């Protein structure tokens, strides 16, 4: 039976979950996978963490050199998070010929080209299933499940923190501030939630996933990003009344015009599979030319779901000979021949304060018409002494057309645009 030695860098939530799975399921993997996977060393400075997990003191390394120079280590698992230290440690491991498994989406998004070059030099493996969507096996699906297809789109809810917040706002009528506070209390949100609520986390993941789906480098800088911190309960309630559920959606499309990649709050029509993905769960919706539509659903974070993804990569590396790298030229930037679409198409929800006087709505309609925007639904919500709140949903149109219309409306004397949210059409 093949023996494989594993080192774990960092025993936080994800690293700790990985250690638990590997130690508790060791005999199970012997029986089912015909491989003996043993944690032979860990790197963790916090004594309380490794003592709580029951890691023997003799397995705790003093530094990364001790890890990468250990001949019993075949696979190094990086669960440190962050960039600077993790990047250096992963490169040390790859340069020493050790296969690396990482859950670090920011590191992989920004430096996969550098890590892959190092891996190729020493014929080391580089695996990253846990970097995207927690325990949902989206990367393995793209690499080994739907590779017979040209993937035209990948859409998903790929950040559990924002999905939890939006669920609480929609289902329980919470304010954004209260829902965020609850997410922090439950451990879904960090003390500084910026990466999640402003869409950075989802954008890192979309960069990775769209590169795999479309077989070309899609850099993080090409991803349009908008977070949820400006979302009001009023807009969520309006959307609910119109039959929509609000989600932070990641959208990647490969079209005749080029590739579009965007992360932003999106109203999803009730009845669409993504509309029913609540709490901290994640889901990814793929469209392939042969398979059609495929959706993967599951827990997008947590010690055991993410640990499951890491261990899946460990087992895959341990049971497959040779190393496989990107199907595209993996550079720091996109290939010069690849076009990216910034003027993407979508339907839009708008909430406006309209001057309450004769002809105001007609003038407003004319401003939309000048930008070739037609309206599907229009609802006058309330009236004050001299103004009314108007909510409308447009047909599919171009992003630039909506921006131009908003600029014209805000420059007029008939209305002010209070909020704009894209609608999945």
Which residues are the active-site residues?
205
> Cβ distance 39 to 19 under 8 Å?
yes
Q: Which of 282, 131, 263, 275 is nearest to 200 (CA)?
A: 263
Phi and psi dihedrals of 101, rounded to 5? -120, 125
- 299, containing H or E segment: strand 292-299
Beta strands 258-269; 244-255: pairing state: antiparallel
Element (H, E) at 52: helix 47-52
Cβ contact 20:54 at 8 Å? no
Q: How far apart are the first and last CA of the chain?
A: 53
Exposed / middle / buried, residue 134 (Cβ in 10 Å: 0-12, 13-18, 19+): buried
Given a contact cutoff of 8 angstroms between Cβ atoms, the answer to whether 245 and 267 are in contact is: yes
State the Cα–Cα distance between residues 121 and 113, nearest whole angstrom. 13
CA distance 274 to 68: 43
129 and 309 in contact (C-beta within 8 Å)? yes
Rounded CA-CA distance 297/287 in Å is 15
Query: Do 368 and 405 touch, CB atoms closer than 8 A?
Result: yes
Which is nearest to 162 in space by CA: 134, 131, 186, 197?
Answer: 197
How many CA within 13 A on the CB side of residue 101?
28
CA atoms within 13 A on the CB side of 325: 19
Q: 5 to each of 73, 217, 243, 314, 409, how far by Cα in Å?
A: 5, 33, 53, 10, 64
The per-residue b/e assignment along 348-380, b for 16 or more CB within 10 angstroms, e otherwise, is bbbbbebbeeeebbebbeebbeebebeeeeeee
Distance CA 375, CA 369 (A): 9
């Amino acid at each position: 039976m093949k023996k494989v030695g594993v080192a774990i860098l960092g025993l936080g939530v994800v690293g700790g979950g990985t250690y638990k799975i590997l130690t508790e399921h060791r005999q199970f993997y012997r029986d089912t996978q015909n491989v003996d996977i043993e944690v032979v060393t860990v790197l963790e400075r916090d004594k309380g963490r490794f003592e709580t997990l029951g890691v023997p003191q003799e397995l705790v390394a003093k530094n990364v050199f001790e890890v990468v120079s250990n001949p019993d280590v075949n696979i190094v698992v990086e669960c440190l998070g962050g960039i600077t230290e993790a990047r250096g440690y992963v490169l040390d491991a790859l340069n020493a010929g050790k296969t690396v498994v990482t859950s670090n989406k920011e590191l992989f998004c920004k430096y996969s080209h550098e890590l892959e070059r190092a891996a190729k030099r020493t014929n080391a493996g580089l695996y990253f299933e846990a970097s995207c969507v927690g325990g949902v096996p989206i990367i393995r699906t793209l690499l080994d499940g739907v590779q017979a297809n040209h993937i035209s789109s990948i859409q998903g809810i790929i950040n559990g923190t924002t999905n939890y917040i939006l669920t609480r706002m929609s289902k329980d009528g919470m304010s954004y501030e209260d829902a965020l506070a609850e997410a922090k209390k439950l451990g879904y949100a960090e003390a500084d939630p910026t990466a999640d609520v402003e869409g950075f986390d989802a954008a890192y993941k979309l960069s990775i996933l769209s590169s795999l789906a479309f077989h070309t480098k899609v850099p993080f800088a090409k991803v349009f990003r908008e977070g949820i911190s400006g979302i009001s309960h009023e807009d969520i309630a309006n959307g609910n009344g119109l039959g929509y559920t609000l989600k932070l959606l990641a959208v990647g499309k490969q079209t005749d015009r080029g590739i579009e990649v965007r992360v932003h709050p999106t109203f999803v029509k009730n009845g669409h599979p993504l509309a029913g993905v609540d709490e901290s769960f994640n889901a990814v919706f793929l469209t392939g030319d042969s398979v059609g539509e495929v959706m993967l659903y599951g827990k997008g974070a947590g010690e055991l779901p993410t640990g499951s993804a890491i261990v899946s990569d460990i087992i895959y590396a341990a049971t497959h000979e040779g190393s496989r790298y990107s199907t595209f030229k993996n550079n720091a930037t996109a290939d010069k021949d690849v076009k990216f679409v910034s003027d993407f198409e979508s339907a839009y929800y708008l909430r406006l304060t309209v001057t309450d006087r004769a002809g105001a709505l007609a003038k407003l309609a004319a401003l939309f018409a000048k930008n070739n925007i037609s309206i599907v639904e229009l609802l006058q919500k309330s009236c004050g002494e001299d103004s009314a709140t108007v909510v409308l949903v447009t047909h599919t149109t171009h992003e630039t057309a909506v921006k131009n219309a908003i600029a014209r409306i805000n420059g007029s004397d008939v209305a002010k645009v209070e909020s704009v949210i894209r609608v999945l059409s």
